[in-house]
Structure 1
Amino acid sequence: MTEPNPKADLQRYLQGARDTLLWKLEGLSEYDVRRPLTPTGTNLLGLVKHAAGVELGYFADVFGRPFFDEGPPPSWYGEDAEANADMWATADESREEIVGLYRRVWEHSDATIAALGLDATGRVPWWPQDRREVTLHRVLVHVISDIQRHAGHADIVRELLDGSAGFLRGNDNLPPQDQEGWESHRRRLERVAREAGGS
């Protein structure tokens, strides 16, 4: 039996969410990665941009490990940014730029995680005063929860775009089913929903 390694376990779940987010962009046009597919504008590239901002905040700022040493942060990252500016990409922000930033951010996050013990403390200035002092362990759990949630959003958005679904390439985590089987399944669920709703 191998020795438990809680930090490695947490980091594995974080990396899984990161990989899922980026995989959801593969094979799509610039239009499709930016398309708002919910009433609140949820889109794939915006989810990646947001995830970069989340990791910047929690693994850089909270533990006093600055990421933007060589100049100011982007305009969408900061207290005076437009509301939801981190949830969509402007026409002049390329997919490569945002994905590249996210990869650099997660390298910085991984360096923070490697350098600190799970009991290392930081401060989250945007949390209520009585909860601002945190450990790396708590931040890891919080960020994993957040990024996994957005990976789930990305899964739904991608399925709405072209029917692609699943966790990762080679491990879609779905029961084996062809398109006809899924359509039959969906019709069955629609019929059950109508029956339950009295239609």
Structure 2
Amino acid sequence: MIDSQSVKTMEAGGPRGFDACKKIKGRKRHIITDTQGHLVALRVHPADIQDRDGAVKVLTSIRALYPWLRHVFADGGYAGDKLRDAVTALGRWTIEIIKRSDAVKGFAVLNRRWVVERTFGWLGLASEEWRALLQPRRISMPHARFTKEFRDEAVRLALTSGRSRREVAAGLGSACRPCATGSTGTASTRSTIHRKTAKRAWPPS
């Protein structure tokens, strides 16, 4: 799955652009995930770069790493012969555009596309950590040329942190299951304790 998300940014801290479609001035997170939503590749670039152009850059970055890749799912923003020809030139890849049905009214979960949207949701949950990592004041001027790599690494860290938090919560849930058949505390009390413990487990001190 390939998709992008435009986000607002501060005036300082690197190049920005204006996404005319989303009416957002900032940068665009361009990501590729597997069918489970795990991050495969990413590029952070100005928001004024079209999805079709940004897709070529992010797909090129994984060509050598995943030579067996054959099929890519995308939304309507990636439609067109330009991207299709570029993908074909990269290898034996095909791109499938998943469109929303005209008969559907209101919100609808689209097959395949919801996976990458969930990954963006994980990034949203880590928004506070994301903003802290992108503070330009923390990067000295001699290292300004590394800001692009820094932004890419910040996205990876945010997704890794969210995944670790879910795994910690799942582990605590497993540890609490034997209590369900025991005699210590009520079900509601155990549930409250579990939620508080899970919150304390993240972020790490």
Please give the TM-score of this superposition, normalised by the length of structure 1.
0.25
Larger radius of gyration: 2
Higher helix share: 1
Task: Using CA pairs under 8 Å that are at least 6 residues apart, name the structure with larger relative contact order, 1 or 2.
Answer: 1
Structure with the bigger percentage of strand: 2
Q: TM-score, normalised by structure 2?
A: 0.24
